[in-house]
Structure 1
Amino acid sequence: MPEPTPQPRSLMLVLHDVAPETWPDYQPFVEAVDRLGEVPMTWLVVPDFHHRNALSRAPGFCQLLERRLQQGDELALHGYYHADDGPAPRSTRDYFMRRIYTHEGEFYALDQAQALQRLHDGLALFDRHGWPVAGFVAPAWLMSEGTRQALRQLPLRYTSTPQHLYRLPEFTAIDAPGLVWSARSAWRRGLSRVVCDWQCRRWREAPTLRLGLHPVDMRHRASREYWLRTLQTLLEQGRQPLTKSAWLDRQVAA
């Protein structure tokens, strides 16, 4: 029996926190990526970003997302509000995770019923627009056990953390290392560059590599240019750009 043909190395370009409010940050970058050729992207869409960006009140932005789908991009559900508005933390660990590490870990403390309701609400919005959805990514990648149990009950194919994709409903882990910046301050941007450069060298031969972008990255020239340059370099190295769903399909077929 002949051995299977090795698959080309790949990359996944992922836009986090997609909402009407964040589109002006992303627009110049997306236009620059489009000029590189066919580079499909996965857009992590928030139905009502910070309780002030309801997609139901942004028909023009929804039309933009539909056009991106027609171009071969993917939309995934990224929380519902992308804001942690639950009861105050009760432990030192929870205080660190929910008030210092991030204020946006919406699914960090939800029980199963709460998580299931928000997931149903988000999927219902996708359904009303006729948008296919295969994946859910929790804001800040933080998921409670209740959220994990809720995801097992839904017809979603994957979720993810910074270094893995998980095939649902079994939560089967697949290595998919990711690069991400913390761009809120100059020292964070400087450290992020050093870390990501080291990771690029470390993972040069990795089968796939994810680029996880955030709106704040787009507000600083250094981080914005870093992502575009890194994308170009990875493409020149022969990596094939794929959406998360397309990459997952490849793993199933392998």
Structure 2
Amino acid sequence: MVSIHDVSPRFEAQVDALAERLARHVGEANFAMLVIPDHWRGAPIAGNAAFAARLRGWADQGIEMFLHGWSHKDETPATEGLAAIKGKHMTAGEGEFLNLPQAEALARMRDGRALVEDTIGRPVAGFIAPAWLYGDGAHAAMRELGFALAEDHMKVWRPASGEVLAKGPVITWASRSKPRIASSLFAASLGRMALPFTQTIRVAVHPGDTTVPALLTSIDKTLARFVRTHQPSRYAALGGAA
């Protein structure tokens, strides 16, 4: 299963390039898009008729659409404890749902889902938090709103029941710095050797990947390796998810 993160008017050209690249490996409908309603509160989908039309066209094409937060910006950063460590080391100020209280998480999820579903004309496939980081408030809000699917770095599950549908690390890349680029290239090469023995493989790409040729080469190598042993599939195929 393959996904494009951070789908937003801000990154339309990069999403186009990634969608074309992924389609060459897995087909034009066998990947998902994770949609941000208003990236860093500076790129709203609302009022952008041209991008809304693109989004609906992608959904009509068969691409699964997940809600991916509201702004993708952590506006309630923790200052101590495990949450502070995650917020500092696992993302660059983008763990939006890591520390949100339930009421605020609920409001953002509810409003985001309504906006995306009104745009694409069908239900979203699920909710995936920015940077795959969830706090207690986010988990409670997902259960209350009845999202069909969610995922983090290590699994895909049903929020309502907690049933785990797939296990294993997601292969992804980082473009923020040379050390992160190098470490993600190493992790992807390791994944190409170790993960073919797992039942379900997840691969996630980001708009920033398009700025680093070495990352694009690694993405191509990774997808080409896995399509030899695994069938490109949709998230909805997991456990008969709707």
TM-score when normalising by structure 2 = 0.90
**Counterparts of residues 70-109 of structure 1 (less than 5 Å):** 70-86=60-76, 89-102=78-91, 103-109=93-99
How far apart are the structure 1 equivalents of 2:214 and 2:152?
Answer: 25
Contact conserved, 2:90 with 2:131, CA < 8 A, in 1?
no
Q: Which residue of 1 aligns with 2:174?
A: 182
From 175, 178, 187, give the equivalent of 1:195.
187
Q: Which residue of 2 aligns with 1:110?
A: 100
How far apart are the structure 1 equivalents of 2:33 and 2:18?
Answer: 13
Name which structure has the greater RCO, CA cutoff 8 Å, separation 6+: 1
Structure 2: which 5+ runs fail to align? none
CA gap of 1:115–1:51, structure 2 versus 1, over 3 A, is same
Deviation at 1:90, TM superposition (A): 3.4
Deviation at 1:186, TM superposition (A): 2.2
Supply the AA of the counterpart residue of 2:124. V
Does residue 151 in structure 1 map to residue 142 in structure 2?
yes
Supply the AA of the counterpart residue of 1:201. M
Structure 1: which 5+ runs fail to align? 1-11
Identity of aligned residues (%): 29
Does residue 30 in structure 1 map to residue 34 in structure 2?
no
**Counterparts of residues 164-179 of structure 1 (less than 5 Å):** 164-177=155-168, 178-179=170-171
Contact conserved, 1:181 with 1:213, CA < 8 A, in 2?
yes
CA gap of 1:37–1:84, structure 2 versus 1, over 3 A, is closer
SS in 1 for 2:179: helix
Supply the AA of the counterpart residue of 1:23. E
From 189, 193, 206, give the equivalent of 1:214.
206
Does residue 225 in structure 1 map to residue 217 in structure 2?
yes
Query: For each residue in 1:88-116, what CA deviation from the matched residue of structure 2 results, as whole angstroms up to 9, or x when unmatched?
Result: 53315443333443200110111111111
Deviation at 1:137, TM superposition (A): 0.3
Task: Point out the more displaced range, 180-189 or 33-42.
Answer: 33-42
How far apart are the structure 2 equivalents of 1:175 and 1:247?
Answer: 7
CA gap of 1:123–1:224, structure 2 versus 1, over 3 A, is same
Supply the AA of the counterpart residue of 1:17. D
* CA root-mean-square deviation: 1.9
State the aligned residue count: 238
